């Protein structure tokens, strides 16, 4: 048999033995995932406003439609699990969009116009 198959078989055998309490002295890394927060319409609007974005820009940044943002903020629909996790990321890290080059902010340009020549 191939080395890959043998390696997979050994790993599975060890996993079974560990679960049955027959394998001692094994290093085990445990991963704990934080519970998923479910955002309210008010919280979603606050996150968007904190980022200084319109619904259209916020939708583009998240990769959803404007209708989706509208429905989240109106409470007619709720964000999916992954959308809630993304909202959590951007709520905790207000510079995330910029650092990942999802959003680029430009310095405001002051427009001046001269009176029309007569």
Domain 41-99: give its CATH architecture.
Answer: Orthogonal Bundle (1.10)
Instruction: Tell me the per-residue pLDDT of 59-78, one tens digit each, with 9 for 90 and over.
Output: 999 999 999 999 999 999 99
For the chain, domain boundaries? 41-99
Instruction: Tell me the per-residue pLDDT of 88-115, one tens digit each, with 9 for 90 and over.
Output: 999 999 999 999 999 998 877 787 776 6
**Cβ-contact 105, 98 below 8 angstroms:** yes
- Give me 36's structure tokens: 């998923």
Q: How many residues does the chain have?
A: 118
Residue 40: how many other CB atoms lie within 10 Å? 13
């Amino acid at each position: 048999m191939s080395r890959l198959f043998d390696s997979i078989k050994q790993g599975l055998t060890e996993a079974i033995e560990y679960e049955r309490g027959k394998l001692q002295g094994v290093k085990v890394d445990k991963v704990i995932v934080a519970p998923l927060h479910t955002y309210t319409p008010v919280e979603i609007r606050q996150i968007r406003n904190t980022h200084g974005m319109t619904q259209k820009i916020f939708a583009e940044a998240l990769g959803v439609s404007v209708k989706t943002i509208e429905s989240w903020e109106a409470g007619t629909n709720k964000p999916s699990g992954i959308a809630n996790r993304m909202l959590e990321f951007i709520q905790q890290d207000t510079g995330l969009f910029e650092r990942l080059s999802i959003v680029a902010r430009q310095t405001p340009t002051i427009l001046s116009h001269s009176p029309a020549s007569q």
